[in-house]
Amino acid sequence: MQTIDQALEKLKKSDFRAKFHLDSKDRTYIEEKGMETIRRHAEDFVAKRLAPAVIPNDGRQTPMRGHPVFKAQHACACCCRGCLNKWYRVPKGVELTQDQQRRLVNLLMAWIEREMGKR
């Protein structure tokens, strides 16, 4: 099992994943809402959009913009079950456990925190 640091390093090597960054609008939103609110949003998105065993619109459920967590999901390959399977060997068709959901949220938040540190 890889650490968050290892996962983020591996993701940086993907041209597609590495192109995602927070813009000034995202940064302002995060600063206004606070990291705990952003974490709750991430928990909600993961629980509703990734955790179910069957996702009717899998592969299209996560927009590429509109919320900082959406950008984090694409940057971290946590946008759909196909990417979760490809990058983290999380099988499709099986509901994510609470532990898996927590780990994904921790990865997303680590990416967001690193992006917020870049000025």
Length of the chain as a residue count = 119
Task: Tell me what pLDDT residue 60 has.
Answer: 83
* Cβ count near 49 (within 10 Å): 19
Position 119 scores a pLDDT of: 56
Instruction: Report which of residues 57 and 46 the model is more confident about.
Output: 46
Q: Which residue has the higher pLDDT, 64 or 41?
A: 41
Express each pLDDT in 51-103 by its tens digit: 999 998 888 889 888 999 999 999 999 999 999 999 999 999 999 999 999 99
Cβ pair 26, 64 in contact under 8 A: no
DSSP code of 79? S
CB atoms within 10 A of CB 42: 25
pTM recorded for the entire structure: 0.94
The chain-wide mean pLDDT, for the chain, equals 95
* Dihedral sign for Cα atoms in the order 79, 80, 86, 91: positive
